[in-house]
Amino acid sequence: MWYDSAMKWIDTHAHLNISAFTEDADAVAEKCRQEEVAVINIGTTFSTSERAVELAEQCKDLYAMVGLHPIQTVPGRHDEDELGKGGQAFSSRGEVFNVEAFRSLATSSSKVVGIGECGFDYYHTTPDSHAVQEEAFIAQIKLANELKLPLMIHTRGPQPGEASPTGRSVYTDVYEVLKQYATGPFNVHFYAGTYEEAARFFELGGTISFTGVITFAKQYAEIVQAAPLELIHAETDCPYVAPVPHRGRRCEPWMVKEVYRKIASLRRVDEEMVRQQLQKNAQRLYGLS
């Protein structure tokens, strides 16, 4: 995969492909180009996956992943930022992962660099949805194996005071599925687990990534400091969780620079060294040469 060496930073998980950016995705992409930030846009439904591919084809500094988010496998999910018909707020009817359609989309463009995001979400769903989420998760793992593409993994535990449907950590549940089915690399995005849980993913050939949350939430410091630098990535998950000093604004991919800087600060190492290593990490995982 050709990669523009002028791009010094990579936002490895963004959503310029959803309704939050309907009016100005092109302008934000241009801002990213000016800031020397390449962007990987992640699909959450078939329609947002199509949009991610469309954007990647329009701009050399944008890449795409195609997949079905676990919360979109369940009826009733509503999000004003998601891309629905006519760019309106999205209400999920419970999308089924159509492997033929996603295979066709994934192979339609050389700018598709992965499958996902997929995994488990216990925060926005009810326990009885676990089996449906797992079915979609496994199907996407198998497609990634077939196409020899990396996986983008979503993990979110239950709301405070509530138990997971399995009685285990969401990271344990994701790990067990990956261990059984995955044959290629993967990234656990928006990582919020322990080092011990991360170490198990590392042993399977995975990586983890951090968002702008690390710029204002102190509980991430230990894992950011302890994780091997060659096994981590920086992301925004935009339009969500804008980093300091942009709190209160819509998050945009060029803000990923603040995540790079915070990683360097927490690890007490040179910012340029971190930038170069994280760039290499993303290039290696997503086949960007």
pLDDT mean over 77-105: 72
CATH 1.50.10.20 fits 9-286, yes or no: no
Q: Sorting pLDDT into bands at 50, 70 and 90, what band is 289? A: confident
Query: What pLDDT sits at residue 124?
Result: 92
pLDDT tens digits, one per residue of 47-89: 999 999 999 999 999 999 999 999 999 986 555 555 554 544 5
Q: Is residue 144 within 8 Å of residue 150, measured between CB atoms?
A: yes
pLDDT confidence band for 6 (50 / 70 / 90)? confident
Instruction: Report the alpha-carbon distance of residue 190 to residue 181 in Å, rounded.
Output: 22
Give the global pTM.
Answer: 0.94
In the prediction, which pLDDT does 82 show? 59
Q: Which long-range contacts (CB under 8 A, 24 or more apart) does 214-221 make?
A: 214/243, 214/259, 214/262, 214/263, 214/266, 215/243, 215/244, 215/258, 215/259, 215/262, 216/243, 216/244, 216/247, 220/192, 221/266
The span from the CA of 262 to the CA of 234, in Å, is 10
> In sequence order, which residues have a C-beta less than 8 Å from that of residue 222 and are 6 or more positions away?
195
* Cβ atoms of residues 83 and 55 within 8 Å: no
Write the pLDDT tens digit of every residue in 177-200: 999 999 999 999 999 999 999 999
- Residue spans of the domains in the chain: they are 9-286
